[in-house]
Amino acid sequence: MNFDGKVALVTGGGSGIGAATVEALRAGGATVVAADLDGGDLTLDVTDDAAVEAAIAAVVEQHGRLDLAANVAGTSGAHADVVDVGLDAWRHTLSVNLDAVFLCLRAELRAGATSIVNVASSAGRMGVAGMAAYSASKHGVIGLTKSAALEVARSGVRVNCVCPGGTRTPMLAAFVGGDENALEGMGRRTPMGRLGTPAEVAEAIVWLLSDSASFLTGSVVEADGGVAAV
Ligand SMILES: NC(=O)c1ccc[n+]([C@@H]2O[C@H](COP(=O)([O-])OP(=O)(O)OC[C@H]3O[C@@H](n4cnc5c(N)ncnc54)[C@H](O)[C@@H]3O)[C@@H](O)[C@H]2O)c1
């Protein structure tokens, strides 16, 4: 895919799926700013409204424009049954996974971005026992994506969403406490019998960002090895 002359922002670009998205966009010729709490080109806490506004203004000032954005930053968040989840843990998960996607999306649209991809999850398509906050936040990302897409559709701006399934990243490894057997077990339980790679999910994100997906908006693309087909 050719992204020559395009300027892109990737949140969560310091690790996992976000880092793979940065790499794929750069390989296509885009100028990419990776924004992350840790490990990006630009240090950013996506839950901080003023910091998000300032970061996007800085990208526009430095590069003259913002064309593309991938909102990938996220957290696995509170892991407990609903009866046991504390309000602070609930709010933290929703803040990182949903409020921050809203803040970034809003600022990106205001800055003139014309193609934006939000990252939800297969957990945004189904209930997940023990992960209600995560699942609710990702369902929210899908609703946010579709609503924003409708609002801007006639101005030629596209907003889409990718739902990864289990993908080998630091987040998933941390979620299972680094237990390789647990990761392999998760992979075996998917229809394709394996976990995805960050690069495979990034391919879907980058395709949606590109002009190749010019008639897609408000779409939810599953990159999950078949999980949503069950
Ligand atoms: N790995 C999976 O199996 C999987 C499955 C479905 C969805 N996802 C989603 O994919 C996205 C990327 O996850 P990943 O697996 O690559 O994880 P990861 O931990 O490798 O990367 C997530 C990145 O987000 C950053 N981040 C977290 N909070 C932030 C904040 N407040 N401000 C800025 N950056 C912040 C982290 O520093 C990290 O670099 C997340 O939205 C996650 O929910 C992952």
Domains of the chain listed by start with CATH number: 7-167+197-224 (3.40.50.720)
Ligand 1 atom with least separation from CA of 195: 3
pLDDT reported for residue 145 = 99
CB atoms within 10 A of CB 56: 25
pLDDT reported for residue 1 = 86
Of the residues 169, 220, 222, which should be mutated to test ligand 1's pocket, given the most ligand atoms within 8 Å of the CB? Answer: 169
Write down how long the chain is.
230
Q: Which of 17, 1, 220, 18 is nearest to 9 (CA)?
A: 18
Handedness of CA 137, 212, 11, 188 (dihedral sign): positive
- Spacing, Cα 84 to ligand 1 middle (Å): 24
Catalytic residue among 90, 134, 175, 207: 134
- Spacing, Cα 155 to ligand 1 middle (Å): 30
pLDDT reported for residue 63 = 98
Paired tokens of 178: 């680094």
Question: What does residue 65 show for φ and ψ, rounded to 5 degrees?
Answer: -170, 165
Active site residue 9: no
Predicted TM-score of the model (pTM): 0.98
> Distance (Å, rounded) from C-alpha 83 to C-alpha 34?
37
Ligand 1 site, CB within 6 A: 11-12, 14-18, 36-39, 44-47, 72-75, 96, 119, 121, 164, 166-167, 169-172
128-166 pLDDT tens trace: 999 999 999 999 999 999 999 999 999 999 999 999 999
> Distance (Å, rounded) from C-alpha 149 to C-alpha 219?
9
Residue 185, classified by CB atoms within 10 Å of its CB into exposed (0-12), middle (13-18) or buried (19+), is: exposed
Residues with pLDDT less than 50, the chain? none
* Those residues with Cβ within 8 angstroms of residue 20's Cβ, 6 or more apart along the chain or in another chain: 197, 198, 199, 201, 202
Q: Which of 85, 199, 96 is nearest to 138 (CA)?
A: 96
- Spacing, Cα 73 to ligand 1 middle (Å): 4
pLDDT reported for residue 88 = 97
- Spacing, Cα 3 to ligand 1 middle (Å): 24
pLDDT reported for residue 96 = 98
Q: Which of 84, 171, 177 is nearest to 123 (CA)?
A: 171
Of the residues 72, 91, 104, 171, which should be mutated to test ligand 1's pocket, given the most ligand atoms within 8 Å of the CB? Answer: 171
